[in-house]
Amino acid sequence: MSFTAGASYSAAIKRPIEPVGPYFLAHATRTLKGHSWSEYEQIEASKNVVNVEEKDSDEALFDESISDPELLSHDPRDWKTCDLYAALGLSKLRVNATPEQIVKAHRKAVLQHHPDKKSSAGGLDQDGFFKIIQKAYETLLDPSKRRQFDSVDEAADVTPPTGKFTVEEEFYSAWAPVFVAESRFSNKQPVPQLGDANSTKDEVDSFYKFWNNFDSWRSFEWLDEDVPDDTSNRDHKRYIEKKNNNSRKKKKNDDNKRLSDLVKKVQSDDPRIKKFKDEEKAEKARKKWEREAGSRKAEEEAKAKAEAEAKAKADVEAAAKAGKEDAKKAKEAAKNAKKKNKRAVRSAAKDNDYFGDASKAAAIDADIDLLIESFDDVLLGEIAAKLKGANADAAKVIFVEVAAKQTADKKVSSLTYFK
């Protein structure tokens, strides 16, 4: 594996080349864009691939064979009642078939169904289907005739679903194809489609706005009764024409009504509309809530204040009540204590056997009663405490002392025993 270089090759000559032809353009592109050969080859190669794919894409959309075998035996005189798209093998494309595709499909159909081919295969003069193919081709290539046919092309219609849907998704999947099919009649393109649960409110609104004002090109000339072309009976001809006109108008009105009913039904069933209404309500409430936020706060404050005041008042009242009760209780306790003290004081003499002077018991008791009468509550308590546990002598001393003090204070007089 080696390369041995020899001499260099002869010098080149500079000449102008002729600026014509596809290869010159390729050369110019290469030179101006600075592509090298291999880059250029790559670009060209990728272009070719696209071309091939484009070529194949049409073929795949055509029917493999005649979709409806009845067509083959259809009376060519009644060709208007045929499915013209199916005759050309375009039953999948229908209204979406481009004129180029129609030409292509026609060529394919002719190659297959030409009477020459059929008769050579043993059949007799069965050129009925071929006549239908030719009629279909003529009709579908003429834009106005094609519209007439498309208007009444039942095979392209989608039957609207009936009944209600419990699952929301089912509603969309059932109705969407209906609107796709109806879209073909719209003068305005593109046509807004049904969408799904995630569609925005604007989308849904514009969808219903569009469909409620649907501008349809659908017309019903195709179903006209044949107008006799002989000139023999002009009146009859006019009569038929008038009848056709009226029937077209009627059908058109019926169709408009059908579509508007359809849209109304969908609109009333649309779960999104309900959803949007609920959302709207919630939103409204929220807005109102926000709008009233200021006044509500003031109210709250006032309420809190009132509550606080009420509470304070209650507290005060409760405290007062409690105080009163306490006082009452204290009073009672004091009363009880007084009673107890009085009893203790009164019984002090008796308990100490009247200090040995039992004969003078009546006088002592009368004096003690007088003394007790003269005591205030405090003194009574003190005396009662002093007397508690005191023996007879000590008790006598306590009585004498207190009698002397009370007498001195002129709180008691006429004591007989403790003078």
Positions that interact with another protein (CB under 8 A) = 1-32, 36-38
State in angstroms the smallest separation of the CB of 70 from another protein: 37
Cβ closer to another protein: 16 or 69?
16
Look at phi and psi of residue 116 and say left if phi exceeds 0, alpha if psi is from -120 to 50, else beta: alpha
C-alpha span between 82 and 149 (Å, rounded): 10
Cβ closer to another protein: 32 or 60?
32
Closest residue by Cα to residue 184 from 160, 214, 163: 214
State in angstroms the smallest separation of the CB of 24 from another protein: 6
Cβ closer to another protein: 19 or 389?
19
Taking residue 266's Cβ as centre, other Cβ atoms within 10 Å add up to 20
State in angstroms the smallest separation of the CB of 58 from another protein: 17
State in angstroms the smallest separation of the CB of 43 from another protein: 14
Cβ closer to another protein: 3 or 294?
3
Cβ closer to another protein: 3 or 53?
3
To 10 degrees, the CA torsion angle through 53, 56, 60, 61? 90
C-alpha span between 320 and 268 (Å, rounded): 70
State in angstroms the smallest separation of the CB of 33 from another protein: 11
Overall residue count recorded for the chain in this entry: 419
State in angstroms the smallest separation of the CB of 62 from another protein: 22
Cβ closer to another protein: 29 or 245?
29
Cβ closer to another protein: 1 or 52?
1
Helical (H) or strand (E) element with 318:
helix 293-351
The beta-strand segments (E) located in 194-270 are none
128 and 76 Cβ atoms separated by less than 8 Å: yes
Look at phi and psi of residue 17 and say left if phi exceeds 0, alpha if psi is from -120 to 50, else beta: beta
71 and 132 Cβ atoms separated by less than 8 Å: yes
3-class state of residue 186 by DSSP: strand
86 and 63 Cβ atoms separated by less than 8 Å: yes
State in angstroms the smallest separation of the CB of 141 from another protein: 16
**18: DSSP letter:** P
